[in-house]
Amino acid sequence: MVVPAFEDPTTKYAFTTRAVPLEAFAGLAGMRRAPRVGDLVMAEVLEIGKNKKLEVRRGVTMDIFPGDCIVGAFGNRYATDQFEGYVPRFPVGECDLLSVGGVCGEAVSWHAEVEEPTRLRVMGLVHGRDGEVLNQRDFAIPEDPGGPQPLSGAEVVLVVGSSMNSGKTTTAGMIARSFSRRGFRVAAAKVTGTAAGKDGRFFESCGARPVLDFVAAGYPSTYMLDRDEVLGVYRTLVSHLRAANPDYIVLEIADGIYQRETRMLLESEELRRSVDHVFFAAGDSLAAESGVRALLAAGMPLRATSGALTQSALAVREAEEATGMPCLSLERLMGDELLEALGREARPDSQEAVPEPVPVQALPGA
């Protein structure tokens, strides 16, 4: 039974808390120590800024107002189009809402066109029945999925990009949809980023099952995790997806290839050994050329470029001339060119994929 402090119907539980059973919430502890990544926190909304809504546990967004109580988790954030923020290094009485998914911390910079962050008053860290502060890591899926494992021959398709909003999520989702419409079994995951449910729901809507993310691995965000932690997230997600015995696993790594955690993953032998195909999403032809050059120099199995630049036929031609590689629009990904890029043929008994018109607003996905 949840204690009365958490039964108030106006309290909003953020998406990042979704793996923590409500029955585990027993009370609030004062800020007797600095918060840690993943610590659950209850806070009162003081002033509305950039984030005027909160994505709650069931995946819908709800308006928030001054005076509302929310439950989120402390975490860092790297978002060039939004906030740079960090977990406070000492006990605090106030903090910022860094994301719609309920990541809390101290914003230190933000994009010039973004409002100041929504400000929160820290009411306390959430503790369980044993008096210990609840942390997302306590409720993470295990690294080893357990049980007899299928001899998975799944090929891993990795989507990386030039920056936030370069079209990675949309590219990954449409790759999954193209596979699914041909009768292949597809699983997907978002390996890094900041807690939010929309990308996972997009992958599901494109036919991927199961779909996982770093939140399931116990983190509100992956920014500033150490190398072993980042690789642990990758290993955990891939092992659970392989356990579902799909034909293809589609993975997205957030932000650009020079971002800290993205670079860690791309430089790791573990990732290099496990990835069969790479697609690079870019916002323009110059970014495409630079990314292609960097990924090929690193020995990555790059197959094509895609992303936001494909909204312009001229930019596509420019990118193909500059890189010597196909630049696949969403329509081309839904056609035969995806499997051609992978050196594969469609299954004779699969549903014939018909290229679909894709709304322009779906293209820029981070």
> Mean pLDDT, consecutive 10-residue segments, the chain of 366 residues?
61 96 93 95 98 96 96 97 97 97 98 97 96 97 86 92 96 98 97 96 98 98 98 97 97 97 97 97 98 97 98 97 97 96 66 42 38
Quote the pLDDT of residue 64. Answer: 97
Query: Which are the contacts of 132, defined by CB distance < 8 A and separation ≥ 6?
Result: none
Quote the pLDDT of residue 366. Answer: 37
Q: Roughly what angle, to the nearest 10 degrees, separates helices 198-205 and 168-181?
A: 20
Written as one letter, the residue type at 258 is Y
Distance CA 73, CA 40 (A): 4
Distance CA 110, CA 323 (A): 33
| Contact criterion met (CB below 8 Å) for 214 and 192 | yes
| Strand stretches in the chain, DSSP E | 12-13, 27-29, 40-47, 53-55, 61-63, 69-74, 77-78, 83-86, 94-97, 103-110, 118-127, 155-161, 186-190, 211-213, 248-256, 277-281, 302-306
User: Domains (ranges, CATH) in the chain?
Assistant: 4-139 (no CATH), 155-362 (3.40.50.300)
Q: What is the pTM of this model?
A: 0.92
Q: Is 287 left (phi over 0), alpha (psi -120 to 50) or beta?
A: alpha
Token pair, residue 49, equals 């800024």
Quote the pLDDT of residue 5. Answer: 54
Quote the pLDDT of residue 48. Answer: 98
Quote the pLDDT of residue 344. Answer: 78
Q: Roughly what angle, to the nearest 10 degrees, separates helices 313-323 and 285-297?
A: 30
Query: Which are the contacts of 22, defined by CB distance < 8 A and separation ≥ 6?
Result: 2, 6, 13
Number of other residues whose CB lies within 10 A of the CB of residue 83: 26
